[in-house]
Every structure is written in structure tokens, then in C-alpha cells.
Amino acid sequence: MDNIYIPIKRRFVYLACIVYWFARWVLAWRLSITLEVNVCIEVVKEPLAGHDKPNIFNTYQGSRLTSIAFAQVLKDADIAISMEGQKAWHDNVFVARLWHTNKYEEIYLHAYSNVPENCAAIGTFLGFYYYTRPHYSLDGQTPDQAYFMHFSQYRWSQNKGRAHL
């Protein structure tokens, strides 16, 4: 899981997301205008309701993700928590790379001025990223091909990303 900031006109919005590392697949995401822990809890609960739970959940050590309320959701689901240590940039490199690409290929080019525009742009970018763009690290497959090779019963929808205002 990761949280990043995205610039919009005169302020920032915050993106919380969960990425399935093997296929570079975003299982759930939300935009928020605040840094409240409830957004992260919503993002975690969504894939837990429809997917097999992981044994280990990796995230960085941000205040929203080290909170008691967030940790309790994972503990209740019997999921071990792994948090990046100091100088452990490689622990979260896949999700960081995805959002770096999104920022430079979509967000910064269009400078969206509000949350709904930004939310729609992220959904459009993810559709391109999943279904069209081949990835070197996936042997030239798209994330859709890599993900559904193993989990064909689940289908991503652009409607899963929602703005939390």
C-alpha cells in the first residue's frame, strides 16, 4: 500500500492505493482531500471482501498506516504487517514507480483543477496501464494478462476508484 500526493490547482489531493506486486495490479484506490486514516481503511477493506487475503501486507511507515485503527483491520484479518525500514526504498518500488508514471504521463501534463477530474484521469490512466501497455518486467505482458493468468475470476472496474471528500 502507498499514499501519494497529487497536485491540483493551489492544493493537493492524496491517493491511497493497494498494488498486487506480482502483476502490478491496483486492487483498490481512493482520492482524498485530507490525510485521514478512514480512507486507508476503506481501501484495505475493499480487496479483502473480494479477493484472497495476503499473508503479508507491505506499506511504508506513514502516520495513517501506523495508526492503531489501520493496524487493527489487518490484525482482524490475520494478516502480518511489513513496513519499510529506513533506506528500504525497494520494498515499495512497484507502487512508487506506477504513480511516478501516472504523474508524468497524465497528471502533470494536464494540470487538473479539481478532484473529480483527477479521479477520472486516474481511472483512464489505469485502464491504459492495465489493458494496453506491455511491461518489460512482466515479459511483455500487460498487467491484465499477468494478473488474470492467475486470478481469472476477478475483474477490475474503473468505478472502483472513488473520491473521498
Q: What is the mean pLDDT of each run of 10 residues along the chain (165 residues)?
A: 83 86 80 88 88 80 83 92 65 75 85 87 87 83 76 45 44
Q: What is the CATH number of domain 2-164?
A: 3.30.420.10
The residue extents of the domains of the chain are 2-164
**Helix intervals (H) in the chain:** 37-50, 68-76, 93-102, 108-110, 115-131, 143-150
Q: What is the pTM of this model?
A: 0.75
Question: Which has the closest alpha carbon to 70: 101, 42, 109?
Answer: 42
CB 135 within 8 A of CB 142: yes
